A and B are shown apart, each in its own frame.
Chain A
Amino acid sequence: MDRIECQWCKAQNSPERTSCSTCGAPLDKKNLVSDSGWTEAPRLRDMTEFRFSNSTCQIEGEIVPVAELALAQGDSVFFEHHVMLWKEPGVPLSAMNTGGGARRMFGGMPHILSIAHGPGRIALSKDATGEVVVLPIHPSHEIDVREHAFLAGTHSLNYSFVRIKGLANVLHGGSGMYMDRFVTGGEQGLLLLHGYGNVFQKTLQQGEKILVEPGGFLYKDSSVQMNTVPQKFKTGMLGSHTMYLAEMTGPGRVGVQSMYVHHGSE
């Protein structure tokens, strides 16, 4: 029997489906790829539903989208507590201590993440315009996400964070002091991110480089090296101006968002 491969997450789907059962991407639309190889993250149709483990996730709304999760017994998701929009009263909540409390607090990051356990329903919203990016994470895969961009992760993901090294990266990188790192164990995990504006992804070849406005960086495979590089410009006989860009070096995927906050890039 023929199967349809999702162009976004590569999952196999039965032919009657119009959206991917793993990531919700429309299957009846071609991937939109720019001339230089940036793929537009699939715009999920309103009310699109997809599965993870024994649970489902439905994306509602197109301007400030909501992810509504129907959690099965034994399944759970974790998230920053302020993204909770509503939940059924019977859904238990617990807390995940992320470690590095004082340092994370100093970096403006929550040191406790909330965990919602099935059975029951819970809805999450980032409370900002943009789009939900669904990233199924295959076993033993690692992905780094700019701080505050993650909406929810499923129980099979291990959460940690990496401190961005180098003074220039911290002061001028524009991605904050930490990046969230998500790693899967034996079971595939699902990561929901919120991208401001539109989101684009490019797969860099080994050694391939791209310069990205630091505020536009959204996620990358952990195999992609990120360094902040100064761009010096002469502005006259004596004057000069320095601008900082994030240099991404492959191999791996890089995701950017088209609406961003400028930190130290000016």
Chain B
Amino acid sequence: MSMPTYTCPYCRIASDGSGTTCPHCGAATDIRARVTKSGWAEQPPIRDMARIRFNRSTCQISGKYVPVAEMKLDPQDTVYFSHHVLLHAEPSVQLNMMRMAGGWNRMLAGMPLRMMTASGPGHLAISADHPGETLAVPLPANHAIDVVEHRFLVATSNVGYRWENSGIWFATQNGDDQEYHYPLGPTMDLFSAQGGPGLLLLHGPGNTFIRDLRQGERILVQPGGLIWKDRSVRMHLHFEYPRGKYWFSSARWQAKSVWLVLQGPGRVAIQSVFEPPETAGSITNSSGATTQYW
């Protein structure tokens, strides 16, 4: 048995380094890491036809524009996913439903009410149905991450899933209309590897960048740009008013930026495609937030 000699800079899992891609996350091993001067590492897109190993099964990523994750499932392995991402399956694959708790709240949040499970043997293929990158996030045993809703593609059955309120919101008043905004969505998905390492595949529209935040280090990001973060990373909203505060006009009505503050320690991943939050009207209430008047 070969000894691990290579540690992937992206998933941080050791392998023997014999292939051109990391067997755990699919990142190319024969390229130099691209890190910006500010510390963001560009997640290299998984090469066409690269294979990722998990449990006794493999996952092959094909296509560059709207990639497909094709899984060769061992009879003892099961994965789960939202049913609308299924592209094709061999008849030998056992498909079943996994019911989710909190149906009413999930429906209000626009989240799927049910997940589908697929058990081997056989091949099945999953597609996020949108341009972007497939991100493979191998989770070490007992490690958990928070994922922004609608980014989840598929996970191995030993990855536990639950969802909780994102806790990031603000309310605006525009005339008589009051509106509540959830820049991360009302809920966030929480995935944790239980009993052993697991594999989580996410979909990132655009390009993906990851970064390690040191203890107490802060960074402001567009709320819609966040893909996932370690559970140790804390977050809150930050409102910036570039024109300051004037006695004759409430700063609440002025141009403003809505940021998400991420505070280390831990890892965060962002995407280059995002929808800016709605900021029309005055902000009357919010989850815990800081404010800056310039």
A-to-B contact residues, CB < 8 Å: 32-36, 38, 40, 43, 129-131, 196-198, 200, 209-213, 216, 231, 233-236, 241, 243, 245, 247, 256, 258-260, 262, 265-266
The answer to whether B60 touches A35, judged by C-beta atoms less than 8 angstroms apart, is: yes
Give the CA-CA distance A117 to B84 in the complex, in Å. 43
Number of A-B contacts (CB under 8 A): 106
A210–chain B nearest beta-carbon distance, Å: 6
- Assess A231 versus B90: contact at CB under 8 Å? Given A36-B123, A243-B83, A258-B67: no
* Choice from A32, A130, A247, A258 contacting B49 with Cβ under 8 Å: A32
Which residues does chain A contribute within 8 Å of B131, judged by CB atoms?
129, 197, 259
B79–chain A nearest beta-carbon distance, Å: 15
Which residues does chain A contribute within 8 Å of B51, judged by CB atoms?
35
A168–chain B nearest beta-carbon distance, Å: 18
Q: Which residue of B lies closest to A63 (CB)?
A: B65
The answer to whether A35 touches B90, judged by C-beta atoms less than 8 angstroms apart, is: no
**Which residue of A197, A247, A266 has the most chain B CB atoms within 10 A of its CB atom?**
A197
**Which residue of B70, B88, B90, B123 has the most chain A CB atoms within 10 A of its CB atom?**
B88
Give the CA-CA distance A34 to B72 in the complex, in Å. 10
Give the CA-CA distance A245 to B63 in the complex, in Å. 22
* Choice from B84, B95, B114, B129 contacting A258 with Cβ under 8 Å: B129
Which residues does chain B contribute within 8 Å of A211, judged by CB atoms?
88-91
The answer to whether A200 touches B72, judged by C-beta atoms less than 8 angstroms apart, is: no
Which residues does chain B contribute within 8 Å of A210, judged by CB atoms?
88-91
The answer to whether B88 touches A233, judged by C-beta atoms less than 8 angstroms apart, is: no
Q: Is the interface of A mostly helix, strand, loop or mixed?
A: loop
B56–chain A nearest beta-carbon distance, Å: 14
0/1 string, B71-84, CB within 8 A of A gives 1: 01000000000011
The answer to whether B62 touches A231, judged by C-beta atoms less than 8 angstroms apart, is: no
* Choice from B49, B84, B95 contacting A34 with Cβ under 8 Å: B49
B50–chain A nearest beta-carbon distance, Å: 11
**Is B194 part of the contact surface with A, judged by Cβ < 8 Å?**
no
**Is B48 part of the contact surface with A, judged by Cβ < 8 Å?**
yes
B4–chain A nearest beta-carbon distance, Å: 25
The answer to whether B127 touches A258, judged by C-beta atoms less than 8 angstroms apart, is: yes
The answer to whether A198 touches B68, judged by C-beta atoms less than 8 angstroms apart, is: yes
* Choice from B65, B89, B99 contacting A131 with Cβ under 8 Å: B65
Which residues does chain A contribute within 8 Å of B219, judged by CB atoms?
none
**Is B97 part of the contact surface with A, judged by Cβ < 8 Å?**
yes
Which residues does chain B contribute within 8 Å of A40, judged by CB atoms?
48-49, 62-63
Which residues does chain B contribute within 8 Å of A241, judged by CB atoms?
97, 114
The answer to whether A32 touches B95, judged by C-beta atoms less than 8 angstroms apart, is: no
The answer to whether A213 touches B63, judged by C-beta atoms less than 8 angstroms apart, is: no
* Choice from B67, B83, B130 contacting A198 with Cβ under 8 Å: B67
**Is B285 part of the contact surface with A, judged by Cβ < 8 Å?**
no
Which residues does chain A contribute within 8 Å of B60, judged by CB atoms?
34-35
Give the CA-CA distance A266 to B86 in the complex, in Å. 11
Q: Which residue of B lies closest to A234 (CB)?
A: B97
